[in-house]
Chain A
């Protein structure tokens, strides 16, 4: 892995904890990765360890709270947020392999504690340490290349929260360009929602299906072998639809390819 100082390091005010071998990172696994695709977690750990981080995984984590937050259940969200903040205090950085969960931790926790100045201050101190995985590697650690190989053509979908809440767009493409054997081809409207939307896809399945159907069409039109994205929720939605349509294109989390961990079946794919 190649590192170079980023030109304008954001959050330079966040101090490293001085742990031997570089910053101490708490991995926020995300519930979907924990339950459905542990290899994304291991890929994340590998990428960060290769970049010189010490990675730990606090056991007292479950989910970022978005299902409750977006269902209007503020009290339970607050309780979950407080326990996440508690579990990750003391790390230099908190990193999640998901733009959606990182966005929740970084952008929305603070607004939950408007009426509680003490918790609000803790949430603020927490939020500046939170990053999405690829953005952390590139924007914070200055990683500009990875050592990985994947033979094939891939297309990258920009998941909504990562793109619009955290500004993640060029970073994964830059790193993917350094994967040996991988060619990147752009789909039309890569920045348009895939129709997942958390509980939306089961509350309004007809509409969600229409939106994901448009998405799989643009994916198929690229002729790529591989669909990549940075959020497992969107990936499961798109992969599930592609499989139902009988498409052969495979889907993986971007971290798997960047870390060179691709011997496990693709998302929704069986053992060969």
Chain B
């Protein structure tokens, strides 16, 4: 996927002017937050589970190589194949090769952010393999030629009327006079269309929410059941997952599952939690004959041992963006790559380079709401600040910001000079602003006064007045 993060400011401007998008974002604000809060308060041990979840992943990350090997052995023992992909390109080629070996024309896909990360759909299409997204949200944006704007609700930016128009445009084999008023009619139409695709597909591709080292199992959580059909009906199942998805045991997965859905949608559990281990065995009535796992690194191993390692605990629940005022304002596409919101603001610079995505860790008020809801207790603001530090030390901070900061630092480090200068400045400003009490324009403060007035100082600094008062006493 083409990265447009360098144009974040312009992307944001466009998003702010997009009225239907702004209406859709209103739903994010209302829907997810209340549901999560209810689910979290209903479970007394929720915060303890968050601690456990964090500890489990920290342990894995400290021994990632061992757990990956253990996992791979179990997959092979169950009759599956493991492929190691260092880069996105490696992963794409491996998957294409599997499709070619099976003479695949159509592949069905369960929802997977990793396949977005590696740009799989475009690549397969270029090589005469037709990918069909089976998650409703993903299906909608595939029809629209778009990318997800949210990691668990990919089409959250699209409204019902737009979906209806897309379905009428694409599903031309259906009666043009059909009624698509109700959201449920859209759902059943998509179901009907997709049902046929499951049977046509030669290969089914899914992501994984977890990979269990103890058993060689991949786990997906879904609400529509499309993931199960994607991985069970075609003859070949390909799991594409990044290396940090590993958890040691079934017990560990059970603990993390208890915080995942609650944080994401406020459900106790997703409707489907599906475990798959290797291909169909002789005793199984159904399942794929061939089972492949593609393990993607794509820059993650170089985050280990750095100040960004904690980010690898992320379980992609989406809570951070659901609670982010910046995400609420501009939506997911403005971030310009696969991962939006606070988690994207940390992850995108790690995976794509901070020179491409320098805006993202800067476009945060550091309100801290993301960290307060993150089930994995990832210190997101702190890590965004670490990116700012890297930018600053590499001179990537914009020059105007640097000079402004430099001047301010010069005074902040010299209290006597600072007080002498501010005493005069504030007395003057106070007198200028005295009548109205505010300025509607101010040189060098255009960023502020474009949209708001600047309250005038009362006049005379506290320090100056305090010194006078002490003197008089």
Contact = CB atoms under 8 A, between A and B. Distances in A.
B458 A264 contact: yes
A80 B389 contact: no
A29 interface: yes
B367 interface: yes
Contact of A193 (B367, B414, B458): B367
Given A60-B415, A69-B385, A76-B413, A241 B325 contact: no
Interface in A184-205: 191-193, 195-205
B69 to A, nearest CB: 33
A255 to B, nearest CB: 12
Interface in A204-230: 204-212, 214
B325 A211 contact: yes
Interface in B399-424: 401, 405, 408-409, 411-416, 418-419, 422
Contacts of A122: none
B329 A203 contact: no
A161 interface: yes
Nearest to B324: A193
A108 B385 CA distance: 12
A210 B16 contact: yes
Q: Which of B367, B387, B401 has the most CB of A within 10 A?
A: B367
A26 interface: no
A171 interface: no
Given A197-B367, A201-B448, A205-B450, A211 B329 contact: yes
Given A204-B9, A243-B438, A74 B363 contact: no
Contacts of B426: 35-36
B388 interface: yes
A128 interface: no
Interface in B433-473: 434-438, 440, 445, 447-448, 450-458, 460-463, 465-467
A71 B447 contact: no
Contacts of A79: 413
Contacts of B412: 31, 62-63, 65, 68, 76, 80
A236 B330 CA distance: 23
Given A72-B389, A72-B391, A29 B452 contact: no
B41 interface: no
A34 B367 contact: no
A151 B13 CA distance: 42
Given A38-B465, A205-B447, A210-B329, A239 B455 contact: yes
Interface in B185-207: none
**Interface SS of A by simple majority:** helix
A240 interface: yes
A61 B461 CA distance: 13
Interface string B356-396: 00000011111111011000000000000101111111000
Nearest to A58: B415
A142 interface: no
Given A164-B368, A202-B447, A207 B385 contact: no
A72 B388 CA distance: 5
A202 B444 CA distance: 10
B309 interface: no
B367 A36 contact: no
Contacts of A243: 438, 452-453, 455
A201 B391 CA distance: 19
**Interface SS of B by simple majority:** helix
Interface in A25-80: 29, 31, 33-39, 41-42, 57, 59-63, 65, 67-74, 76, 79-80
Interface residues of B, number: 68
A223 B433 CA distance: 28
B400 to A, nearest CB: 10
Nearest to B389: A72
B15 to A, nearest CB: 9
Contacts of B72: none
A36 B366 CA distance: 23
Contacts of A80: 409, 412-413
A240 B455 contact: yes
B397 interface: yes
A36 B438 CA distance: 11
Interface in B87-102: none
Contact of A57 (B372, B440, B458, B466): B466
B405 A71 contact: yes
A161 B366 CA distance: 8
A241 B451 CA distance: 7
Contacts of B418: 62
A194 B388 CA distance: 22
B451 A205 contact: yes
Interface string A16-30: 000000000000010
A269 interface: yes
Contact of A37 (B414, B440, B457): B457
Q: Which of A33, A160, A161 has the most CB of B within 10 A?
A: A160
Contacts of A90: none
Nearest to A192: B325
B365 A38 contact: no
A9 interface: no
Given A71-B401, A76-B413, A160-B367, 4 more contacts: A36-B426, A60-B415, A62-B411, A192-B367
11 contacts: A59-B415, A67-B408, A68-B408, A72-B389, A76-B413, A164-B368, A164-B369, A198-B365, A270-B434, A270-B435, A271-B435
